[in-house]
Amino acid sequence: METSVVNGIRDVFNNNEANYQSSSLAHRKSALDFVLSHNFPDRKDEEYKYTPVNQILKKNFNFKNTITSKTTDFDFEDYFYQLEGNHLVFFNGSYQPFQSKIYNEICCHLEKKSNQSFHDIFDALNVAFYENSLKIEVNKNYRSQPFFIYYFYDSQQGQIFGNPNIQIVGHPDTRIEILENTISKGTYPVFINKKVSVHVKTNAEINITKIQNYKKHVYQIYNLEVNQDTQSKFNSNVYSFAGGLIRNNLKINQMGENCESHMHGLYLITGHTHVDNHTAVNHTHPHSYSNELYKGIVDESARAVFNGKIFVRPEAQKTNAFQSNQNINLSDEASIYTKPQLEIWADDVKCSHGCTVGQLDEEALFYLRSRGIGKNQAKALILIAFSEQSLEHIPFEFVKKEIDTLIRKRLIG
């Protein structure tokens, strides 16, 4: 890592040291030492071969000029979804309990210290710099109000470096539905390094839906790690439309029998937006199930990366695991890199994986045009039909409509 970047990271830590409780300082400094002894991934790192974070951040972000001020002219409630539920506010990466509205006070805890370990530079970066860790934990049999999590970033006065840290625990027989949305003001760069840890206990279900429609100067690394116990269910839905860099890391560990995991994603990107989805599902016990479908439409000079891994351990007999990545490339300047992977050590399983990269279906286009539909409209109809299959598993009807509007606006204008 270049000296200026190292010094910038160290300066950010030193300038905010007074905000940290002494009990957590040693853990933070240990994480900082890890960060300063490692490089951000570049093209030599296989996991980031097509997403050279080191080069992108050096070019677009200077840690020395980062602002951590809490002043803002956001009126947070103006951006709240007008639905009953738990409305949780983060500002510049820090949870704001007094700006949040919680349906049940015992749902959320504010923690200054996290015992989470770190296994890569971004984990360590988050542990070194998060200001507080939000823990969402509900009572047994909770199945009522959803959680709306808003991430506000104000870069009107300078660059922002935000490190949201969230822990989610679904106790037995609970159902938790979460919607995440990010809102930003200003034109200076924003670097978001988000870490979310999820534990889905026996017979629990957790659904997380993410809308990623950022400004071109917003760069995000999102690490989501999920541990599932026996007979639990986890659903992930991610919809990416714009941003400078979006890297979504999703790791699911099925730690008991009869686990069920669903992963659905759509990236519909143009301009110079770069979206990278890396997923991994680890099947360790019998009778487990995972289903993954990511779809992408890439235009202009945008770049999309998909790498999905499925691991079926020797003990995970009777596993059903399916993975598919489907892409449409609309431009000679756009790039799509896709790599599905399947590693199986069990012999009584049903597993499949595959990927496609193509252009518009000319036969379908001809069919629509032969019925009097103009070329642009026919093209849009085909792309809308391709995209909207990914909306079927969203638990929020109003979100389906919101994303459908974004799709149609992007494809029709």
96 and 59 share one domain: yes
Q: Where a domain ends, among 321, 343, 362?
A: 362
285 and 375 share one domain: no
**Does pTM surpass 0.95?**
no
- pLDDT at site 70: 66
- pLDDT at site 16: 66
How many structural domains compose the chain? 2
357 and 367 share one domain: no
* DSSP state for residue 40 in the 8-state scheme: P
Q: Which domain holds residue 405?
A: 363-413
37 and 180 share one domain: yes
Count CB neighbours of 177 within 10 A.
20
271 and 396 share one domain: no
7 and 134 share one domain: yes
Q: Which of 207, 109, 236, 211 is closest to 151 using CA atoms?
A: 211
Three-class SS state of 1: coil
Helix, strand, coil percentages for the chain (3-state, nearest 5): 25, 40, 35
Q: What's the 3-state SS for the chain?
A: CCHHHHHHHHHHHHHCHHHCCHHHHHHHHHHHHHHHCCCCCCCCCHHHCCCCHHHHHHHHCCHHHEECCCCCCCCHHHHCCCCCCEEEEEECCEECCCCCECCCHHHEEEECCCCCCCCCHHHHHHHHHCCCEEEEECCCCCCCCCEEEEEEEEECCCEEEECCEEEEEECCCCEEEEEEEEEEEECCCEEEEEEEEEEECCCCEEEEEEEEECCCCEEEEEEEEEEECCCCEEEEEEEEEECCEEEEEEEEEECCCCCEEEEEEEEEECCCCEEEEEEEEEECCCCCEEEEEEEEEECCCCEEEEEEEEEECCCCCCCEEEEEEEEEECCCCCEEEEEEEEEECCCCCEEEEEEEEECCCHHHHHHHHCCCCCHHHHHHHHHHHHHHHHHCCCCCHHHHHHHHHHHHHHHHC
Digit-coded pLDDT (tens) for 88-137: 999 999 999 989 998 765 566 666 555 556 788 999 999 888 888 899 98
61 and 109 share one domain: yes
Q: Where a domain ends, among 339, 362, 385?
A: 362
What average pLDDT is seen over the chain? Answer: 88
> In this model, does residue 398 exceed pLDDT 80?
yes
- Res. 22 pLDDT band, cuts 50 70 90: low
282 and 314 share one domain: yes
261 and 318 share one domain: yes
> In this model, does residue 3 exceed pLDDT 90?
no
Q: Do residues 172 and 112 make contact, with C-beta atoms less than 8 angstroms apart?
A: no
58 and 158 share one domain: yes
Q: 327: which strand partners?
A: 296, 357
Digit-coded pLDDT (tens) for 131-166: 888 999 888 888 888 999 999 999 998 899 999 999
220 and 123 share one domain: yes
282 and 410 share one domain: no
Gap between the Cα atoms of 358 and 354, Å rounded = 13
Q: Worst-scoring range by mean pLDDT, 7-21, 22-36, 121-135?
A: 7-21
Digit-coded pLDDT (tens) for 155-214: 998 899 999 999 999 999 999 999 999 999 999 999 999 999 999 999 999 999 999 999
What amino acid is encoded at 143 in this protein? R
